[in-house]
Each structure stands twice: as C-alpha cells, then as structure tokens.
Amino acid sequence: MFSAGVIVYLDRNGYRDARGGPPTFLDSIYFAAVSLSTTGYGDVYPYTESARLVNTVIFMPLRVAFLAVLVGTTIERLSERSRQGWKIQRWREKVRNHTIVVGYGTKGKTAVDALSGNEHVPGNIVVVDSDPNVLRNAAANGLVTVLGDATRTEVLLLAEAPYASSIIVATGRDDTSVLVTLTARAIAPHATIVASVREADNKHLLEQSGGNAVVVSSETAGLLLGLATTVPSVVEVIDDLLTPDVGLGIAERNAEQAEVGSSIHDLHDVVLGVVRDGHLLRIGAPEAEAIEASDRLLYVRNAEH
C-alpha cells in the first residue's frame, strides 16, 4: 500500500481530489488504501491517460494480490481452526486416564520430559496454559493443548479433567497453584494431583486444597545446593535418578507372586520403599519387611534395560 501511495504521489499531477487540486502525500496513501481494498470512494481519481494507465497496469495486479492474501489468510485460519476443532473433538471422545500439565514453563516442560521418559505417549498428555505462544511450542512437540485459565472449571473440563488419571500443577505462582488444585479436585475427585510451590510455607495450603503430593521447588533446590558443597557426587546421583531415560531411574512395579512373603532386602532390585494401600512404607518400617501380594515396589532401575 505504501509503494502504491508513492507511485500515485510521483504522478500526483495526473490525479484530482474532491477539492480539485493534486493530491498530497497523505491523499496518495489514502487513494492506495481505498483502491487496493476495492472500496473506491471516487473522491480521489486519475484523470490523465498516463495516470489511468498506471492505475490499470500496476494497481490491478496489486489489488488482486491484496485480495488473494486477505481471502487466503482468512480461509487458512478458518481451515486450521476447523482442523484443530475436529482433532480435539476426536481426542475428547476417546481420551481416558491421561495426564494434564497446567503451565508449560520450565517446570512444566521438565515434567513433560519426565513423563515422556517414563513411556507416556505425547498424545496422552494435555498442556493447559493461557499463553498461545507457549501452547504453539507444546503442540509442535506433539502434545494436546488447551488455551485458557486453569483456575476456571470450564477450561479444565475442555481438558477432560474428570477422566484424567493425574494432574500436574506447575504454575509460576503459589496462589494460582492453590486455586488450580481446588478447581481440579472439585471436578476430578479420583485424579492424582501433584503440585509445585515456591515457598515451603504454602505447602500445607496445597495439601488442604486436595494435592496428593506437593513439591517445594525453592526448598528442594536449597537442599541440593547444600549437599553440593560437601558431597557433590550425591547431587550427581540424585540428578541421574531424576532423569528416567538415562542411567539410573526410579520406577514402580507390582510385586511378583514369587516375591510375596519375602523381605525387601532379599530382592535383586534395590527397593526404596513399598506402596501399600496408597501409602508409602519406607525402608526400615516393620510393616515393609514382608511383601504382600497387593504391594507395589518403588525401586531403582537401569534405564538402559
């Protein structure tokens, strides 16, 4: 449009406006705008043969190009929305026992990487965030995305929260995490909700809001920093354990029939604890000495096997 306006201004003596004189530069830009958009008010018009020739030879292709871009972009956007809507509708019809990740910042991305390392299918992970740019990155990684504020019930319903097996709350603010956890627990009473908070003082708020597990990011980072000053190798081991697809990893499995009645110290795996009736029994607890048939074992596994 600017280029067309310059062309008109260079040949401004071949044009007339409603005042009867040649157009100013602003008039030229105005004429280019109404011409390319096919509005054509007629208050500025070419009256010499050279100006009309330029208007026909140059403005007509520009006008067609402008309409092609306008219509093409509109159709592309509508088609993309229809495609996305159809894909989401198909996904919603069949999704069950999926994982919802609220917040796709550093913590959310790391959580998704950990899930992927534990053999979670990307299409079975739903990312909820209010930033469209963040969701574009998540969609590029094959994740299902929902745009909106996760403190609102209708947004979590779009993510099919009532059918989710787990919900990870990884927002950047503790108050937001509390509201998201409250909302999620209200509509997904059976889901496992894991939330992250920055300050340890807010941990009990998340637990009272319905969080099954709460990770204090600042406290955990502080503990690792303290350990690194005295036993840096321990930090490397912990980092290795927290990276499920490389080296060692922490996993959970059902107790085998041959292991029932045995002590956790007699197993070939390094067992860190026993999960019984949803509660963790740590090593050394008398109840954990004898393995029961319904137990799940928390153990260290080699990611390469």
What string of DSSP letters covers 101-168?
EE--SHHHHHHHHHHHHTT--GGGEEEEES-HHHHHHHHHTT-EEEES-TTSHHHHHHTTGGG-SEEE
Domain boundaries, the chain: 2-89, 95-220, 248-305
- Which amino acid, residue 202? N
What's the angle, vertex CA 159, arms to CA 155 and CA 165, rounded to 5?
130
CA 117, 121, 127, 133 torsion-angle sign? positive
What's the angle, vertex CA 189, arms to CA 184 and CA 194, rounded to 5?
55
Helices 217-230 and 232-241: crossing angle, nearest 10°?
140
Q: Are 98 and 164 in contact (CB under 8 A)?
A: yes
Q: Which CATH class is domain 2-89?
A: mainly alpha
pTM of the entire structure? 0.59
Q: Would you call 290 helix, strand, or coil by DSSP? A: coil
The pLDDT value given to residue 26: 85
CA-CA distances (angstroms) from residue 28 to 4, 5, 7, 16? 8, 5, 8, 10
The pLDDT value given to residue 194: 94
pLDDT, averaged per 10 consecutive residues of the chain (305 residues), comes to 85 80 83 80 78 80 84 82 72 83 91 76 85 90 89 92 93 92 94 91 91 84 78 79 70 88 85 86 83 89 66
The pLDDT value given to residue 96: 85
Of 182, 171, 180, 159, give the one whose Cα is nearest residue 98: 159
- Which amino acid, residue 17? D
Q: Which CATH architecture has domain 95-220?
A: 3-Layer(aba) Sandwich (3.40)
Q: Which CATH class is domain 248-305?
A: alpha beta
Cα–Cα distance between 129 and 138 in angstroms, integer?
10
